[in-house]
Structure 1
Amino acid sequence: MENVLIREIRKEDNPQVASVIRKVLVDLGVPKVGTAYADTALDHMFEHYDKPKATYFVVEENGVILGCAGVAQLDNYEGNICELQKMYFLEAARGKGIGNKMINTCLERAKEYGFEGCYLETMPYMEAAQKLYKRMGFDYIDAPMGDTGHYSCPVWMLKTL
């Protein structure tokens, strides 16, 4: 994976990013309602993150996007907390340490933005992802924070920055 690059999303990445996210969600059997699959932002990720204190990153190898993730203010939450959002990797990118690098990239940006904590939501059966989040310093919490609209994601985690 020596030709792997993590960079900020560009407008022309939108179709490839939407395709990666939907493929991963379908492969994992995620419900299409109440999860990221239904988010209108999926087809316009560049525009969705084109706002203050928000950045979306892609992982690219030889011009092909293999994964993505971003950080932004947690929706409908009063407080200085961001959310690790829409982190998905195609099978070809899994198990190679890319997720680790991507989370570090997102958390560094969150710290630059001055956030005090980082929240995420996931699915119970996404065990590999949860192991990665735990290794990266996220802890389970008992209730959701803010209101992301992802009512089908019952696992919540938080990391102090």
Structure 2
Amino acid sequence: MNTWKIREIKPEDNQQVKELIRSVLVEMGVPKVGTAYEDKALDDMTRTYENDKSVYFVVEEGSKIIGGAGIAPLTGMEDEICELQKMYFLPESRGRGIGTAMITRCLEFGKNKGFKKCYIETLPYMENARKLYDKNGFEVIEKPLGNTGHYNCTVFMTKEL
């Protein structure tokens, strides 16, 4: 039996989610410029994902948020491609099947909204994340799609929905 659950973000989760994302980025040694660390979206994730083709899910265990991921139209290619965004998990949530459950939930949402493909950007040294994406059917492509503004992310992957 899981002690965690996936649910949509609520306004009262915003600060906890912002701190979680930034702490994981610091843990991974990610540059603070040209990555999600500096995204204005982190200040109000609820508002960022409030349109009908976007959603941000959190993983809650007890009263603590231990992970999260979003899905939204890819800027510049909004009609057909969605982007898996801001997927981060605290150390205690890793290796428990939560990442796969989260990806499945996000991709179901994207497919239900009519997207044909999902896109993700990551960093070469985020090996566990890359293994998770690979295990879930994402394939590396040569160059970026859309306009995410994350110029320090150099690994690009897609998956047909």
In 2, the alpha carbon distance for the partners of 1:137 and 1:20 equals 26
Structure 1, unmatched stretches of 5+, are none
Structure 2, unmatched stretches of 5+, are none
> TM-score, normalising length from structure 1?
0.98
**One-letter identity of the residue aligned with 2:146:** G
**One-letter identity of the residue aligned with 2:62:** N
Q: Deviations over 1:141-160 (max 9, x none)?
A: 00000010000000000000
Same amino acid, percent of matched pairs:
58
In 1, the alpha carbon distance for the partners of 2:102 and 2:89 equals 10
In 2, the alpha carbon distance for the partners of 1:127 and 1:76 equals 28
Aligned to 1:17: 17
The answer to whether residue 132 in structure 2 is matched with residue 143 in structure 1 is no
Superposed counterparts of 1:81-92, under 5 Å = 81-92=81-92
Deviation at 1:2, TM superposition (A): 2.2
The answer to whether residue 104 in structure 2 is matched with residue 100 in structure 1 is no
Aligned to 2:124: 124
Query: Runs of 4 or more off by more than 4 Å in structure 1?
Result: none
**Residue 42 to residue 78, structure 1, CA distance change in 2 (3 Å):** closer
Q: Deviations over 1:114-151 (max 9, x none)?
A: 10000000000011111110110100000000010000
> How many positions carry a matched residue from both structures?
161
In 1, the alpha carbon distance for the partners of 2:76 and 2:13 equals 28
The answer to whether residue 71 in structure 2 is matched with residue 67 in structure 1 is no
> TM-score, normalising length from structure 2?
0.98
